[in-house]
């Protein structure tokens, strides 16, 4: 997959609950542009939020329920860069808006990856996942990769 200036994509994240949730959990999603080694981060953007528009715990999270929490990936046209206030912190159109921006330093051919972690809103501890091999190297769960196009 390739993402180019002017493109907008959706990460259609869906979560299925295996048991009732009694605490507030945060979904943290990052969009990362990697350096040539495909490991070191050149740039990133971050969106943290409580799924279902903050509706946890609610009946939306009873056993077997499905909660959709999509993220939009926006690559502004060249000349209209996204506004970043710091590392991994772009200015969103509204607080908590589920939008991830491609940094204006992105170059053609660069690998871009989506990453996810779920953590407790009060303790900031990440939630364990069922298959620890996924997070053996890093605590982030990979969502997939794309390449920057022209």
pLDDT at 58: 56
Count each helix (H run) and each strand (E run) in the chain, helices first. Answer: 1, 12
> In the prediction, which pLDDT does 102 show?
95
The pLDDT assigned to 120 comes to: 87
For 50-93, the pLDDT digits (tens) are: 877 666 555 556 778 788 888 999 999 988 888 888 889 899 88
β-partners of residue 47 are: 29
pLDDT tens, residue by residue, 118-146: 888 889 988 877 778 887 777 788 999 99
Buried b (16+ CB within 10 A) or exposed e, 85-96: eeebebebeeee
Q: Give the model's confidence band at 46: pLDDT under 50 very low, under 70 low, under 90 confident, else very high.
A: very high
- C-alpha 51/C-alpha 21 separation (Å) is 12
pTM for this predicted structure: 0.86
Tally of CB atoms within 10 A around 103: 22
Name the pLDDT band for 100 (thresholds 50, 70, 90).
Answer: very high
**Average pLDDT, stretch 26-47?**
93
Among 26-30, 84-88, 104-108, the least confident range: 84-88
Output the pLDDT for position 41: 93
Residues 1-15 pLDDT 10s: 899 999 999 988 888
- Longest CA–CA span in the chain (Å) reads 47
Q: Higher confidence at residue 54 or residue 104?
A: 104
pLDDT recorded at residue 53: 67
């Amino acid at each position: 997959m390739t993402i180019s200036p002017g493109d907008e994509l959706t990460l259609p994240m869906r979560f299925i609950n295996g048991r009732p949730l009694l605490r507030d959990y945060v979904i943290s999603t990052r969009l990362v542009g990697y350096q040539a080694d495909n490991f070191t981060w050149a740039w990133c953007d971050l969106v943290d939020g409580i799924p279902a528009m903050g509706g946890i715990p609610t009946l939306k999270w009873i056993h077997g329920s499905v909660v959709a929490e999509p993220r939009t990936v926006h690559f502004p046209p060249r000349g209209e860069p996204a506004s970043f206030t710091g590392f991994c912190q772009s200015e969103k159109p509204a607080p908590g808006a589920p939008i991830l921006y491609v940094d204006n330093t992105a170059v053609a051919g660069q690998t871009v990856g989506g990453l996810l972690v779920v953590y407790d809103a009060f303790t900031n501890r990440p939630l364990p996942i069922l298959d620890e091999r996924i997070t053996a190297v890093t605590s982030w769960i990979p969502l997939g990769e794309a390449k920057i196009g022209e």
